Structure 1
Amino acid sequence: MKQFLLVIFLIQIVRAEAQTSASSVADSLYVIGNYSNAINEYSKVGGLSSALQIARSYNAVGNYEKAITQYQYIVEEDVDHQLAQLELGKLLLKVNRFEEAKSVFANLTNVNTDNPEFQYYLGEVYKELNKADESLVHYKNAVSLDSTHLRSLFQLAKHYTIKQERDNALKYILEGLAYYENDVSLINLHALVLFNDAQYEKAIPLFERVLALGEDKSYVFEKLGISYNKNWEFKKAKEAYAILLKRDDTNSQTYFDLASVYQKESKLDSAKIFINKAMAVQKPIFANGYNQLAYIAREQKDFKIAFKFFEMAYQEDKSDARIYYNMATTYDQFGSNLQKKLGYYENFLKHYPNEHPFYYETARKRISELKEEIHFAKE
């Protein structure tokens, strides 16, 4: 009997050693990315640990359905296997199976209420389901559990930046930057919040820092160009726009913005050149270009040309009341026909009755004056 038990014990030792050896081979294959052969070796070993590695291997090679099936098998066998559930939930989120992912992460947050990562991923699921209020709750839960949870802080900051809720956005941005001052995504959001708040001087060094940290994106140069222009740093604005035009010389807005810089410098001929370039690449509406050319002509006291360009802009975009108002005021400056002047102002009030109070009052007052002038002219 003792000999029999000894034999059984020795067999178990041999089997354990064989499993350990097979597991080691499978692990070594997995580590170097030889996933298909690793799956075969893990299959020989068996057990939930091997099943988890098989699921990870299928995930790594992009066979997501088999990976999901393997994860689900593990969870069925061990309902408390939180790591398998976490990886399953992340994969379901990745393949847009949001309702299933929500079920997994909701379960994890119920089982383990102190884990900020579970809260974060539940927030991600709700974000994908376009349920912003629910997603914010879980991002905030994650931050309350871990004040340094950068991904949750970023999502909160991004949400409030888009909504242009300045104070809320800054709250989460500054909390994140207090933990990691070189987080380029948060620095970028900080710059955008200040930019949206017209604090261009404060936004400039932040955008410059974003560039220094390697975020060499066109939108950064675009915002910098505008900020430099607003801050009267014309040389730097031109440099930013020059970089943008090297990358894309078909963007009409860049030419218009560059023209604005030259216009501020009173280099009106150069401004005209860039407006015309903008219009050459602009499709299909030219209203903006004609409008800017009209303003330049008016600065040059060439009211007839200004009126012509305002008229052309109006033909392109009749929804913009300001264009028609500028037509009326410009003709008023050079025209001699009182009835025609009166007609422009009356048409303005007729077609754009709900415009800015200043425009309305100015037009109304001018109509009264013109009627009086016409009356005395007749006498």
Structure 2
Amino acid sequence: MQRIRLVFLVFLASNLNAQKPRIGIADSLYATGSYAKAINAYASLGTTSAGLQIARAYRAIGNYEKALLQYETIVKESPALQIASFELGKLLLKVKDYDVARKLFSKLVAINNQNPEYHYYLGEVYRELEQPASSLVAYKNAIEIDSTHLRSLFQLGKYFTIKQERDTALRYVDTGLRFYEKDVSLINLKALIYYNDGRFEKAIPWLEKVLALGEQKEYVYEKLAHSYYKEWEFESAKETYTELLKFNDSNSDYYYALAETYRKNKQMDSAALFIRKGMDIQRPVLAKGFMALSVLAREKDDLKLALDYLQLAVKEDPNDGMLFFRLCTLIDRYYKDPDLKLKYFESYIARFGTKVPYFSMMAKKRISELNEEIHYAKESTD
């Protein structure tokens, strides 16, 4: 009996030694990206670990269907092998099979409740299933186990940012930044929290950090430029809007924003130049440009030119009640004829009714005043 046992052990050792070179070859093929050859090499080994590598190779080449089948086989044959179930769950999440992924991650959490990754991915599944309450519980469980779990902290910060719960959002974001102060996602989120809250002075340094860390994205420049403008940092705003135009020089809004920055900085000629550039791009929709030119003309006390531009704006967009009301008020200011003024205000009420209660109230008040003025003017001539 001992002789038989000895022969078996010798055979087993010999077989393992023979497999070592083949495992090394398969691992080398996998590591260098020769996945098809690696799959064939692993298939000849017939071990569970080799099967797991086959699943990974299929996933690497994008053959998710075969990867799923391979993972499912391993999970069925080796249910205690958590790594296979974990990788299968992540792949199910990737292919959007959320309900099956939820069941799998829930099972993993039940098996090992102290693994923060299991809780995090369960949260991701619930988020995709649009079950925010359950996803929040999962993310919070992850950071309770591992207070440095940045992805869970980010998701919690993001959720409360969207909900405009600033203080709660900042608490999660700041917790993450204490562990890794250069995390771009968290820095970006902190900038967004302040920006959305209208705290542009606080948003600026965080937006600047995002750019400094290499996130040279259009939306970052757009928010930074607007923040500079709101904080009256006009030179910085102009520079940033100029950079923004390098991303998209066909966006008329950027030209108008740059023009508004020059206007605020009392550089009227430059403002007019960028308004016209915006109008050239925006053609044939020019109402916004004519409106901006009208504002510039009014600031120069050239009411006639302002009126001309405003009439062009109304012509371009006759259904814009705000534009028409502005035209009424400018005509009221420029002309002396009360009958002409009355005509325009009555036209506003007839066309736009009570769409904007404040404008309608002002128009009706002015109509009453003009009728009274016309009435007394007639009495004085009788």
TM-score by length of 2: 0.91
Question: Aligned partners of 1:179, 1:107: CA distance in 2, in Å?
Answer: 30
Question: Aligned partners of 2:65, 2:344: CA distance in 1, in Å?
Answer: 68
AA in 1 matched with 2:12 = Q
Question: Aligned partners of 2:327, 2:276: CA distance in 1, in Å?
Answer: 21
Aligned pairs for 1:291-370 within 5 A: 291-318=291-318, 320-350=320-350, 351-355=352-356, 357=358, 359-370=359-370
Partner secondary structure for residue 148 of structure 1: coil
Please tell me whether residue 202 in structure 1 is matched to residue 202 in structure 2.
yes
Cα gap change, 1:88 to 1:2, in 2 (>3 Å): closer
Question: Aligned partners of 1:316, 1:88: CA distance in 2, in Å?
Answer: 58
Instruction: Say which is worse superposed, 54-63 or 31-40, in terms of deviation.
Output: 31-40
Q: CA deviation at 1:318?
A: 4.7
Please tell me whether residue 190 in structure 1 is matched to residue 190 in structure 2.
yes
AA in 2 matched with 1:355 = V
Question: Aligned partners of 2:183, 2:283: CA distance in 1, in Å?
Answer: 38
Q: Deviations over 1:222-264 (max 9, x none)?
A: 1121111111111111111121223322111110011001111
Question: Aligned partners of 2:246, 2:12: CA distance in 1, in Å?
Answer: 72
Contact 1:68–1:88 (8 Å) recurs in 2: yes
Aligned pairs for 1:135-214 within 5 A: 135-214=135-214
Gaps of 5+ in 2: none
Residue matched to 1:287? 287
Q: CA deviation at 1:331?
A: 0.7
Question: Aligned partners of 2:99, 2:173: CA distance in 1, in Å?
Answer: 30
Instruction: Say which is worse superposed, 318-327 or 3-12, in terms of deviation.
Output: 3-12
Q: CA deviation at 1:332?
A: 0.5
Residue matched to 2:75? 75
Question: Aligned partners of 2:323, 2:5: CA distance in 1, in Å?
Answer: 100
Contact 1:321–1:352 (8 Å) recurs in 2: no
Cα gap change, 1:352 to 1:111, in 2 (>3 Å): farther
Identical pairs, percent: 50
Q: Deviations over 1:107-164 (max 9, x none)?
A: 2223322222112112222333344444333223322332221111112222332343
Q: CA deviation at 1:207?
A: 1.1
Aligned pairs for 1:1-379 within 5 A: 4-282=4-282, 285-318=285-318, 320-350=320-350, 351-355=352-356, 357=358, 359-379=359-379
Matched length: 378
Q: CA deviation at 1:356?
A: 5.4
Instruction: Say which is worse superposed, 47-56 or 283-292, in terms of deviation.
Output: 283-292
Instruction: Say which is worse superposed, 127-136 or 264-273, in terms of deviation.
Output: 127-136
Task: Let me know the Cα RMSD of the aligned residues.
Answer: 2.2
Contact 1:293–1:309 (8 Å) recurs in 2: yes
Contact 1:221–1:244 (8 Å) recurs in 2: yes
AA in 1 matched with 2:325 = Y
Instruction: Say which is worse superposed, 366-375 or 316-325, in terms of deviation.
Output: 316-325
Question: Aligned partners of 2:370, 2:71: CA distance in 1, in Å?
Answer: 82
Contact 1:153–1:176 (8 Å) recurs in 2: yes
Gaps of 5+ in 1: none
Partner secondary structure for residue 44 of structure 2: helix
